[in-house]
Amino acid sequence: MSAVDVVLVVLRLGIGLWLLWSLPTLRPRPRVERGRVSVVVPARDEAGQLPGLLATLPEGVEVVVVDDGSTDGTAAVARVGGATVVDGGLLPGDWTSGKARACHLGAGATSGEVLVFVDADVRLTPDALDRLVGLLDVKRGLVSVQPFHEPGAPVERLAALFNVVAVAATDVATPLGRRRGPRGAFGPVLACRREELEAVGGHAVAAHRVDDDVALAEAFRAGGHPVTIRAGGEVVSFRMYPGGLRQLVEGFTKNLAAGVRAARPLTVALVVAWLTLLVQASVAPVRAVLAGGSDGLVAAGVLYAVVALQVWWMARQVGRFGIGTALAFPVLLVTFLAVFARSVVATALGRVSWRGRRLPTRTRR
C-alpha cells in the first residue's frame, strides 16, 4: 500500500474508535420503591419468550402484558407468569403500529408513576430495574436501553454488524453525543414518568410510525424533555431474532432505513466511511492473489487482521460475539449491505413486513 493508503486506513480505524469510544451502561443505584413502577410488555406471538422475561421481573412490580393479536397462546402464558393481560383486539383504523398501540393500551391499564416498556425477549438481572429507574430519577425524560445481545444459533451472529452500526449511529458512545446528546432511541427497553409521557402525547405520536421508538424520542425532545441512552451491559440482555435468518432480515429491514434518518448526517458519513474500510479489507486478499507477489498478500493479510480485531472490539461491546464472528466480517458486511438495500427499497415502496403484518413506512399527516 502507498503512504496515502496507509493514512486513509489509519484515519478510518480512528473513526471506528470514535464511534464506540466510551459506551455508557446502567450503573448501580439504590433500590427504588416497587409500587412506583409499572412494567408494560407489548407481545405478539411471544409465548416462547414471555416466561423468561417474567421470571426476571422483581416481585412487587405491576406487570401488564398487552396481547397484540397473538395466535400462539401468549395471553395464557402471561397469566401463568403472574401478569395482568390486556387484549389488544383488532388494530383500529387510526393506528398502523401494533406495538405503539399495545404500549398505549398498556400504559392506560397501569397505575405506576414510572412506566417501563419492555420487549418480551429482554432478560433482566435482579437489580436492573433499580438501575433503570434510578437513572430516570436523575435524568428524567425518556431513558432507552439497548440490551446486550446474547446470540443463540450461529445465524444470529449475523446481527453483530447491525448492532454495532445501530449503537454507533446514536452517538451515545462518542464525545459528540456526550456534549450534544444522543439521537434516536432503542425500543426493547424504554422508561419514563407517566406525566411526561402524557405531556408529549403518549404512544399516539407513533400511531403511524414503523420506528415507534424513534418517534417517541422525537416527541420527548420536541417537548423539551431529555433522552438518555444506555447499553445493557451485564444487566439487560436479549436474544435477537431466534426465529432464524428470515426473522433477522425482516426485523432489520423494518428498522435500518428509519434509523439512518434519525442519525446526525455527520455520524452517518462517519459510519459509511468506516464501512468502506471493511469493504477494502474484505477484497484486499482477493486483489492481492490476483495481482500476484507476496508483498501485496502480506499487506492484505495485515489489513484484514487489523480490521477483524477492531470489529471484534466493537462487537463485543454490544453483544457476546467472539473472534470467530469478527474474522468472518466480510460475511457480516455482505449481509448488512444486502439488508440495508432491501430496507431502502421497502421504505421507498412504502411498506415493510413484520410478524405477519404489512406496516407502512410513510408517516401519515
Residues 302 and 182 in one domain: no
| Position with higher pLDDT, 351 vs 100 | 100
The C-alpha angle with vertex 307 and arms to 240 and 291, in degrees rounded to 5, equals 125
Residue 142, pLDDT > 50, answer yes
The neighbour count for residue 24, using CB atoms within 10 Å, is 16
Residues 191 and 295 in one domain: no
Residues 347 and 218 in one domain: no
Please tell me what DSSP assigns to residue 362.
Answer: S
Q: What is the pLDDT of residues 294-340, one digit of tens each?
A: 778 999 999 999 999 999 999 999 999 999 999 999 999 999 999 99
Residues 184 and 150 in one domain: yes
Cell numbers standing for residue 53: 422475561
Pairing of strands 148-149, 236-238: parallel
Domain housing 162: 34-242
Residues 14 and 70 in one domain: no
Please tell me the total count of domains within the chain: 2
Residues 8 and 45 in one domain: no
Q: What percent of the chain has pLDDT over 90?
A: 77
Instruction: For 110, list phi and psi in degrees, rounded to 5.
Output: -110, 170
Half-sphere CA count of 135, side-chain side, radius 13 A = 24
What DSSP element (H or E) covers 283?
A: helix 265-291
| Residue 362 pLDDT level (bands cut at 50, 70, 90) | low
Beta bridge partners of 259: none
Q: What is the pLDDT of residues 84-141, one digit of tens each?
A: 999 998 888 788 888 999 999 999 999 999 999 999 999 999 999 999 999 999 999 9
What average pLDDT does the chain have? Answer: 92
> Alpha-carbon dihedral of residues 238, 244, 246, 249, nearest 10 degrees?
40
Residues 289 and 198 in one domain: no
- CA–CA separation, 136 vs 347, rounded Å? 33
Residues 202 and 272 in one domain: no
| Helix locations, 98-174, DSSP H | 98-108, 128-139, 160-169
Please tell me what DSSP assigns to residue 61.
Answer: -
The neighbour count for residue 270, using CB atoms within 10 Å, is 22
What integer pLDDT is reported at residue 365 of this predicted model? 45
Cell numbers standing for residue 323: 473472534
Q: What percent of the chain has pLDDT over 70?
A: 98
Residues 187 and 270 in one domain: no
Cell numbers standing for residue 26: 446502567
Q: Do the domain assignments include residue 349?
A: yes
